[in-house]
Amino acid sequence: MGGKDILKSVSDSSSDEFYTPFPGEYNIGKTKYIIVAGSVMSGVGKGIFASSLAKLLQYAGLKVSPIKIDGYLNQDAGTLNPFRHGEVFVLDDGMECDMDLGSYERFLDKDLCRENYLTAGIIFNRILKRERAGNYLGRDVQFIPHVTGEIKGILRKLAIKQKADVVLVEIGGTIGDFENAYVIEAMRQLIYEEGKDNVCFINLCYIIEPSSLGEQKSKPSQLGLERLRGLGIQPDFMICRAENQVSDSIREKISVYSNVSLKNVIGLPNTSTVYEAPLLIKELKVDEKVMKLLNLHRLFSRFKQRKQLLQWTEFVEQYKSTQKKINIAIAGKYTGLNDSYASILKALEHAATFNDARVNIKYIETTKIEDKEIDVEEAMRDVHGLIIPGGFGKRGAEGKIACVKFARENNLPFLGLCYGMQMAVIEFMRNVCGMMDANSTELEPDTGYPVIDILPEQKKIEGLGGNMRLGGQDVKIKEGTKAYRLYGQDAIRLRFRHRYEVNPKYIELLEKNGMVFSGKAPKYNIMQILEIPNKRFFMATQAHPEFNSRPLKPEPMFDGFIKSILK
């Protein structure tokens, strides 16, 4: 019995107990659902697995719409510390979200939107607004049925809006977390209402292998399974993540304990690169097994998938075989966590692989340069290129400016991103234009030369996170510049996340001394790309071009940066 049939069988007097929203044009069975959740620990690789599976289904001719559900109460990821949560990924429509959305975009080569991301804060905000408006007809608003119903309704609306064959749901956190228990309950209800043939539940567990024992252990995974089954979920597949190949005995234990057929208990060891994951998942036929379970094999084109996988396979083989190595420094203040700069690392991988090279990253903690703990020349030893990434606040800023100065004076290829562009402008203003007190009003509100400032239109907007230029913006490219040669056109679109801009008051002075603003906003005097023509490569942008990079389509600015190093 399907969800609508269930509701029809309930008497009118009690039907409000079953808040199960079905949009008017929604048909059960037209869209299938794949749910991916993790147990044992976070960081088990749910996002990469889900992205890889989505890629294989996309290559086979299916339209896949991913959605990530996070349990925190923030409205978005914009105010989260990169040390705690990794980078904030920005969608073209301005949504600040979890870095897993970056994985989906890169793997699917597809721009996502705010409907593809959901937090507890978004869910509760919607419900409370509806309650204040009296939309629940006097009912006491509860987790069940209203919170779970809201989640199901969001998934069904996503299916309709994006005309998805498959909605792939990734549940953040770990099975057993308080913050995602109601999401798991919503998925249990979804399976019940949609019917078992229309929903596939995949649990990723982690198989530990303590070095002191020298063998794999399945007990933590069994305990995670116990929690999952206690919440009413019987998984269809168990994906066993591990450092090494999972042994048959471990798979057998997991199979017996989970009631999942042994052929659907699949070991997934680490790969040399995340881009190899789709190929391994294909080799294990996970995609075909999932499609068979969901009765989608009639839409599944092995021929189309095989043909499209060829280019992906070539990319992976080139990445693995290249011998040429270059050292690139990332000078920032979140260097203690690689995920803080995830999209930059991926954009460098894409561009370097395209140019038959491999990148070694050297992290430079700029607060140490600022505090004289390390010398900038020592920090830059054996470095072939420098990136100053995005960021906020005063800490480490002077260290970044010192790094930019070294790159400019020593003709070291330089790429500044967002905050990195602001640091480049300050450095140039001080050391080339002679205005030694030049600064940003973010760093020094009373500076005599506010070369970086909040523009008047930004000052009118109140609230942290609300007064930024966010998301995709058009950029007008000046002909005859390096930017024009890289992009090959006079109009492009990049993504932004910033409050402060180059102060128009000082643009003439900067240009007079040799700085070229090669990209600007079409309708406003907002500088978006700069370059110094007489350098090997000295470019900076107020945007985050790393968000637009794809494995098979390197972002032009990163591609130019890598090429300049190799030359």
Is 350 a residue of the active site?
no
Cα dihedral 277→283→287→291 (10° resolution):
180
User: Which of these, 71, 79, 77, lies nearest to 120 by C-alpha position?
Assistant: 71
Angle at 278 between CA 273 and CA 283, to 5 degrees: 110
The answer to whether residues 200 and 293 touch, using CB atoms and an 8 Å cutoff, is yes
Is 113 a residue of the active site?
no
Is 85 a residue of the active site?
no
Burial category of 431 from C-beta neighbours within 10 Å (exposed 0-12, middle 13-18, buried 19 and up): middle
Handedness of CA 371, 377, 383, 389 (dihedral sign): positive
Local structure of 524: helix, strand or coil = coil
What sections of 322-461 are H helices per DSSP? 342-354, 366-370, 376-379, 397-409, 419-431, 456-459
User: Which of these, 267, 345, 265, 279, lies nearest to 316 by C-alpha position?
Assistant: 279
Handedness of CA 516, 473, 361, 341 (dihedral sign): positive
Distances in Å between the alpha carbon of 49 and those of 53, 71, 287?
6, 20, 11
Determine the Cα–Cα distance for residues 62 and 296; give it in Å rounded to an integer.
9
Helix axes 46-59, 100-108, angle to 10 degrees: 20
Q: Are strands 516-520 and 469-477 parallel, antiparallel or unpaired?
A: antiparallel
Determine the Cα–Cα distance for residues 301 and 468; give it in Å rounded to an integer.
44
The answer to whether residues 455 and 540 touch, using CB atoms and an 8 Å cutoff, is no
Q: Which residue has the tokens 């967002």?
A: 418
Q: Which of 185, 418, 427, 555 is catalytic?
A: 418
> Residues 108-127, buried b or exposed e (16+ Cβ, 10 A)?
bebebbbbbbbbbebbeeeb
Q: Which residue has the tokens 């591609």?
A: 559
Local structure of 512: helix, strand or coil = helix
Q: Which of 146, 384, 498, 544 is catalytic?
A: 544
Determine the Cα–Cα distance for residues 142 and 131; give it in Å rounded to an integer.
11
| 540 phi/psi in degrees, rounded to 5 | -150, 150
Determine the Cα–Cα distance for residues 498 and 504; give it in Å rounded to an integer.
16
Determine the Cα–Cα distance for residues 395 and 400; give it in Å rounded to an integer.
10
Active-site annotation, residues = 418, 544, 546
